[in-house]
Structure 1
């Protein structure tokens, strides 16, 4: 593994880990009032495209981070639709 991938894994760990508390808090409180569904959908599509790009350039750091983040974004979209007060 070269030093560029080490930097990539460090960035991936920090940015992915920063997103996980929001998923946990939303799951525990079921409060989705602060979440915007259009933003979550755009974020999900953007992360999906980053994942495709990471696969294309064969970057393990991008593939692992975006795989985890896409699951997190999907969970937040699911929570938003499930717990939204109608």
Structure 2
């Protein structure tokens, strides 16, 4: 299980992990960023995961479609292929 830094919010640390995965190409364009998967991987609540995905959405790294989920944006993937 992931070890959190107790001095920083968990949602912030989860957002950093997902951001790095996008930057490294582990999560390519249109990759589903599953809230359930992140909950299980990090052992946190849905609320914590939603704070992380909201931060990534504000950065333009993911887009969320109601009823479908959150996906890595084309723009984020394009920036990493330069």
**TM-score normalised over the length of structure 1:** 0.34
Query: Hey, which of these two has a bigger chunk of helix by percent?
Result: 1
Larger RCO: 1 or 2 (CA < 8 Å, sep 6+): 1
Greater gyration radius: 1
Pick the structure with more strand per residue: 2
Normalised TM-score (structure 2): 0.35
